[in-house]
Amino acid sequence: MSKKITRRAFAASSAAAAAVAAFGFKPALAQAYPARPVTVIVPWGAGGGTDATARIVAALLEKDLGQPFNVVNRTGGSGVVGHSAIATAQPDGYTIGMLTVEISMMHWQGLTELAPKSYTPLALMNEDPPGIQVSSTSPYKTVKELADAIKAAPAGKFKASGTGQGGIWHLALVGWMQAMGLAPNHVAWVPSNGAAPAMQDLAAGGLDLTTCSVPEARAIIEAGKARSLAVMATARNPAFPDVPTLKEAMGIDYSTGAWRGIAGPKGLPADVATKLTASLKKVYDSKEFKDFMSNRGFGTVWGDAAQFAAFMEKGDAQMGVAMKAAGLSKA
């Protein structure tokens, strides 16, 4: 009896194996990653710089790895909703996302417990340092002239903007003030809904300076209504070669910026993470990606998984110092 059952079981398994072979199915574990579409979560709205960057990366990943990489915008909570969706996804490589500089800020503000260590870093792709812009009618032709005037003026006389209170461009100003030995609030911050309205206000004479990225200021600069005096970066942006760094112009070795990188949930399998990082390097090195970013004035910075992790750790500490100094930290 047992021999008959064994023969029948063997025959059944052989038939099943033949059917699998005939229809081209493979056991899930044997399929090479990715075996199905991948979701790419973006914590910010469609049409913005982060969304645009994520979509070109996703399109080129799809081209290299042969599966759809579908961008999904998960907005809300000042970036918390989307970043949380990436962190809490199943760690199987089929949900990844684009982290932004806010992940090194939100936990200091008490908005979430998420931090850079909550993810599996895959690659740093972009960083845009803040520029220091003045209107075209400003008497200050160099950043040193502006800095000397700020130092000589009483606290609060000079007014700046570029984003909301506690945003990356506000913290960039705070860091610059500290680097010059001034109080974090020596220049008064005027909250705005972003760089575009801040630049309009600068051109209209309502502000003394802005500290948004040069790409964001580009339209007003090219219209002849403003000029950029320096960038808070370690090197000049090739798209704006005439704008010096703070170190070149003032001898101040201070840099910061808004950045974007790709990561997955914590615990991503090592082989999946390695494959994604390798593909992201191909994306980064491609002419399509470089042309896309260059045409928009976006900075390109590569960091592999380990370098991205170290980059985020350093930035997280820097943001903590700036936010505490400005009285914005609730951590």
Residue type at 218? R
- The rounded distance, in Å, linking the Cα atoms of 95 and 241 is 38
Residues 138 and 246 placed together within one structural domain of the fold = yes
Residue type, position 313, single letter = E
Residues 185 and 149 placed together within one structural domain of the fold = yes
Residue 239 resides in a domain: yes
Q: 63 and 145, same structural domain?
A: no
Per-residue pLDDT of the chain (331 residues; tens, 9 = 90+): 444 444 444 444 444 444 444 444 444 444 799 999 999 999 998 888 899 999 999 999 999 999 999 999 999 988 999 999 999 999 999 999 999 999 999 999 999 999 999 999 999 999 999 999 999 999 999 999 999 999 999 999 999 999 888 889 999 999 999 999 999 999 999 998 888 899 999 999 999 999 999 988 999 999 999 999 999 999 998 888 999 999 999 999 999 999 999 999 999 999 999 999 999 999 999 999 999 999 888 989 999 999 999 999 999 999 999 899 888 888 6
Alpha-carbon Rg of the chain, whole angstroms? 24
Q: Which helix (H) or strand (E) holds 95?
A: strand 95-100
Give the residue numbers spanning the domain of 200.
131-250
State the CATH number of the domain containing residue 232.
3.40.190.10
For residue 70, is it within any domain? Answer: yes
23 within some domain: no
Angle at 66 between CA 62 and CA 69, to 5 degrees: 35
| Contacts of 140-146 spanning 24+ positions with Cβ under 8 A | 140/229, 141/229, 142/229, 142/249, 143/229, 143/230, 143/244, 143/246, 143/249, 143/250, 144/249, 144/250, 146/209, 146/229
Q: What is the pTM of this model?
A: 0.80
Residues 146 and 119 in one domain: no
**Same-domain pairing of 279 and 215:** no
Q: Specify whether the CB–CB gap between 221 and 138 falls below 8 A.
A: no
142 and 81 in one domain? no
Burial of 50 (0-12, 13-18, 19+ CB in 10 A): buried
Last residue of a domain, one of 232, 250, 268: 250
In a domain, 27, yes or no: no
Name the token pair of 90: 């199943």
Question: In this structure, what are the phi and psi dihedrals at residue 281, rounded to the nearest 5 degrees?
Answer: -65, -40
